[in-house]
Amino acid sequence: MAQTDGQAWNRGEQIPEQTPVSWGIAFGVSWGSLKRRLFRSLITMSGVVLAIAFLTYMLVTDSIARALVTANVDRLNLLLQRAGVDIFAAAGTDRRMLLLIGLSLFTCLVGIVNAMLMSVTERVKEIGTMKCLGALDSFVLKTYFIEAALQGIIGTALGIGIGVLVGFVVSLNAFHGYVVQFFPWGGACKAMVIALLIGSVISIVAAIAPAQWAARKQPVEAMRAEG
C-alpha cells in the first residue's frame, strides 16, 4: 500500500514540491476556458471591441479627410465643407480632431480595463475551487493573464475591422466615389497598426493587475464570495 503524505511527514521525509505549470499548458487551459465560456467571453470582449472600433474609426476618417483635402478638387472641397471639414487646416493641426482622438483613447483605456476586470471578478469562486484542488498561485496567474490578454487582443482585432468598415462606409456616404479614388491606403494601414498596438499593449497591461489579484485570493475567501 502506498504511504500517505501524513506517514511520510511522520518519518521525516520531505513531500516533493509541486512543479510549476509551463506557459504552454496554461495557454491550453485558458483557450479551453474561453471556448467553454464563449458567450460570456464575447460579452466581456464587447467593451474592448467598441473602444477599439471608436479609436480606429476616428483615425481612419481623419486619414481619409486629409487625403481628400490634399486632392484639392473643387466639387470635393464643397462636400468637405458641408461635412464640417476645415479644408484650410490640412497641413496644420485640427484641434477638434485631436480632442476626439484623445477621447477615443480614453474610452479605449476604460473599456479594456473594465473588460479585463470583469473577466476575473465574475469567476472568484472558480479561483477558490482551483486553489482547493492544489493549483499554485503561478498557475492561476498564468491562466488568467493569458485569458484576459487573449480576450483583449481578439477584441482589438474585431474592433479594428469594425472601425475600418464603419469609417469607410460613412466617408463613402458623405464624399461618394472620391473616397475610392483618393483612398489613403498608407494612412489607413498606419491607423490600423496604431490601433492594434494601442489595443494590444493596453490589453496586456490591463490583464496584469486582475491576474495578480486572482492569484493572491485565498481559497476560503474566494469560496465564500457570492457568485
Kindly report, residue by residue over 29-70, the tens digit of the pLDDT: 777 777 777 777 777 778 778 888 888 988 888 888 888 888
**Predicted confidence band at 147 (pLDDT cuts at 50, 70, 90)?**
confident
Residue linked to cell 501524513 = 6
- Whether residue 165 contacts residue 53, with contact meaning beta carbons closer than 8 Å, is answered with no
- Residue 72: phi and psi, rounded to 5, are 55, 55
Higher pLDDT, 217 or 92: 217
**Taking the C-alpha atoms of 142, 26, 132 and 34 in order, what is their torsion angle to the nearest 10 degrees?**
90
Tell me the range of 65-74, 90-99, 143-152, 188-197 where mean pLDDT is highest. 188-197
- Of 159-163, 167-171, 192-196, 202-206, which range is least confident? 202-206
Please report, for residues 3, 6, 96, 112, 122, the alpha-carbon distance to residue 45 in angstroms, rounded to integers and kept in the order given. Answer: 48, 46, 29, 8, 14
DSSP state of 20: P
pLDDT tens digit sequence for 4-26: 444 444 454 444 455 666 777 77
Contacts of 218 (CB under 8 A, 6+ apart): 131
* Percent of the chain's residues with pLDDT above 70: 73
Going by pLDDT thresholds of 50, 70 and 90, the confidence category of residue 163 is very high
Span of 53-57, 90-94, 97-101, 175-179 with lowest mean pLDDT: 90-94
